[in-house]
């Protein structure tokens, strides 16, 4: 059985041609699957009965299974989504006054092992399929619509207005599947999100960033977290392969494709590690050629992390140095802390296949 959630519209058109059908069927299917969230072929009333019967034999629309749904006191929702019997990932919805943001995972675990990151500590199992990535949006839409008392919503009433690829995993290490899933997010027949409302966050896989700007130039966020190579080598070890100078050059190249855009630099605030006045000035120096804004993220501790959250007074001083230099700076509010849904806390369940250092190194080299 072919799971049709794995296809973007051109791939679905090819699939229909293979079945001896007209390619325009793809558009109809995309609308039913993604726009209306229907996974029962018998309900797709504008599709000929004979084709619906054929699809019931040949295909399926199977989203991943929700194992647990939790709702925080502040309205944040988290889904634990099973990807197979041994592994699960997490997806988080953050409601705000003017938007609803879904944070999506791209891998089971992560091979990159940033030292402040709970996911990185768990090792790596595998890449998610397209169906498992876009399925998180499918599942979240479904659940939020039900919670809101709707089965189907008119297109103008989007509960999820923004998607960030910032959950478990390094999205650019699962390049093909992530790009296909994002193409579905942008497709007017599916979710119809604008390019600027889909943000991909990377730790800095420079080669893949260059490819992304050609294939699907969504908004770009970079997990920077340190203002010099010596410190970034420790906090974000991929920096040893792609040092800050190369990363900044890649950011500049990315924006050539979208000159009205900017890069968001994410910077986790770790007490006494990367949060001094000197660090702030170093940061200003390394980003000087990149149109950007900053998102400062107070560290969310997890067991045995070895790090502490920066003191609020230090965060204020750090923020003011950046703001006084003319940059837009936001300090991320912690959301969903009571259900472990805050930034950096996503854990899921990962059957670690990495055999640690040796396998991790092979994976990084393969995707870079």
Helix axes 175-186, 206-215, angle to 10 degrees: 30
CB of 148 to ligand SF4, least distance (A): 30
Q: Looking at 21, 58, 90, 96, which residue is catalytic?
A: 90
b/e map 147-172, b = 16+ CB within 10 Å: eeeeeebeeeebbbebbbbbbbbbbb
Among 203, 274, 295, 354, binds ligand SF4 (CB under 6 A): 203
Q: Which residues pair with 222 in a beta bridge?
A: 202, 265
The contact pattern for ligand SF4, residues 248-287, with x = CB under 6 A and - = no contact, is ----------------------------------------
Please compute, for residue 63, the number of CA atoms within 13 A of its CA located in the half-sphere on the CB side.
20
CB of 25 to ligand SF4, least distance (A): 38
- Residue 343 is a catalytic residue: yes
CA–centroid distance for 335 within its chain: 17
Q: Which of these segments, 89-97, 168-176, 240-248, 269-277, binds ligand SF4 (CB under 6 A)?
A: 168-176
Taking CA atoms, 319 is separated from 5, 233, 296, 327, 332, in Å, by 42, 23, 8, 9, 12
The reply on whether position 235 binds ligand SF4 by CB under 6 A is no
Query: Which residue, 190 or 350, has its beta carbon nearer to ligand SF4?
Result: 350
User: Do 247 and 222 form a contact (C-beta atoms < 8 A)?
Assistant: yes
Question: What are the tokens at 131?
Answer: 């169906």
Query: Which residue, 189 or 223, has its beta carbon nearer to ligand SF4?
Result: 223
Ranges within 10-39 binding ligand SF4 (CB under 6 A): none
The reply on whether position 132 binds ligand SF4 by CB under 6 A is no
CB of 202 to ligand SF4, least distance (A): 8
The reply on whether position 208 binds ligand SF4 by CB under 6 A is no
Q: What does the alpha-carbon distance between residue 360 and residue 113 come to, in Å, rounded to a whole number?
A: 9
Query: Which residue, 141 or 199, has its beta carbon nearer to ligand SF4?
Result: 199
Q: Which residues contact 303 (CB under 8 A, 6 or more apart)?
A: none
CB of 281 to ligand SF4, least distance (A): 24
Query: Which residue, 179 or 364, has its beta carbon nearer to ligand SF4?
Result: 364
CB of 344 to ligand SF4, least distance (A): 7
Among 29, 89, 92, 110, binds ligand SF4 (CB under 6 A): 110
The reply on whether position 113 binds ligand SF4 by CB under 6 A is yes
Among 4, 94, 112, 247, binds ligand SF4 (CB under 6 A): 112
If binding means CB under 6 A, how many residues of this protein chain bind ligand SF4? Answer: 12
Question: What are the tokens at 342?
Answer: 């805050």
CB of 203 to ligand SF4, least distance (A): 4
Among 129, 223, 300, 309, binds ligand SF4 (CB under 6 A): 223
Looking up tokens 């299917």, which residue turns up?
A: 29
Q: Which of these segments, 58-66, 96-104, 154-162, 166-174, binds ligand SF4 (CB under 6 A)?
A: 166-174
The reply on whether position 170 binds ligand SF4 by CB under 6 A is yes
CA–centroid distance for 354 within its chain: 22
CB of 143 to ligand SF4, least distance (A): 24
The reply on whether position 342 binds ligand SF4 by CB under 6 A is no
Among 169, 298, 336, 348, binds ligand SF4 (CB under 6 A): 169
- Residue 365 is a catalytic residue: no
Q: Which residues contact 68 (CB under 8 A, 6 or more apart)?
A: 79, 80
Q: What does the alpha-carbon distance between residue 267 and residue 338 come to, in Å, rounded to a whole number?
A: 23
Torsion of CA 317, 318, 324, 329, to 10 degrees: -120
Q: Which residues contact 95 (CB under 8 A, 6 or more apart)?
A: 75, 76
Q: Looking at 103, 117, 251, 343, which residue is catalytic?
A: 343
DSSP string, 125-145: EEEPPHHHHHHHHHHHHHHHH
Residue numbers at the binding site for ligand SF4 (CB under 6 A): 110, 112-114, 117, 119-120, 168-170, 203, 223
Residues marked active site are found at 90, 343
């Amino acid at each position: 059985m072919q799971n049709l959630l794995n296809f973007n519209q051109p791939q679905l058109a090819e699939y229909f041609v293979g079945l001896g059908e007209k390619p325009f069927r793809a558009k109809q299917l995309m609308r039913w699957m993604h726009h209306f969230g229907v996974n029962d072929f018998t309900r797709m009333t504008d599709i000929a009965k004979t084709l619906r019967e054929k699809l019931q034999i040949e295909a399926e629309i199977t989203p991943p299974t929700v194992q647990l749904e939790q709702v925080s006191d502040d309205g944040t929702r988290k889904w634990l989504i099973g990807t197979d019997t041994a592994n699960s990932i997490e997806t988080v919805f953050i409601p705000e006054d003017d938007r609803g943001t879904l944070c999506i995972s791209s891998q089971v675990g992560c091979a990159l092992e940033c030292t402040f990151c709970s996911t990185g500590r768990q090792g790596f199992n595998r890449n998610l399929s397209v169906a498992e990535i876009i399925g998180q949006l499918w599942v979240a839409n479904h659940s939020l619509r039900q919670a809101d008392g709707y089965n189907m919503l008119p297109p103008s009433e989007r509960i999820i207005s923004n998607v960030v690829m910032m959950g478990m995993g390094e999205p650019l290490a699962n390049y093909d599947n992530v790009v296909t899933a994002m193409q579905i997010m942008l497709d007017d027949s599916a979710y119809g999100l604008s390019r600027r409302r889909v943000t991909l966050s990377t730790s800095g896989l420079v080669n893949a960033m260059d490819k992304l700007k050609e294939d699907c130039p969504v908004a770009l966020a970079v997990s920077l977290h340190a203002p010099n190579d010596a410190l970034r080598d420790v906090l974000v070890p991929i920096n040893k392969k792609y040092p800050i100078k190369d990363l900044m050059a890649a950011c500049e190249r990315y924006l050539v494709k979208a000159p009205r855009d900017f890069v968001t630099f994410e910077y986790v605030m770790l007490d006494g590690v990367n949060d001094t006045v000197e660090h702030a000035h170093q940061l200003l120096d390394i980003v000087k050629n990149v149109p950007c804004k900053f998102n400062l993220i107070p560290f969310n501790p997890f067991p045995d992390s070895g790090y502490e959250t920066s003191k609020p007074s230090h965060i204020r001083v750090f923020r003011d140095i950046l703001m006084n230099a003319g940059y837009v700076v936001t300090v991320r509010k912690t959301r969903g802390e009571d259900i472990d849904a805050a930034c950096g806390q996503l854990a899921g369940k990962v059957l670690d296949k990495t055999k640690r250092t040796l396998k991790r190194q092979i994976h990084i080299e393969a995707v870079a």
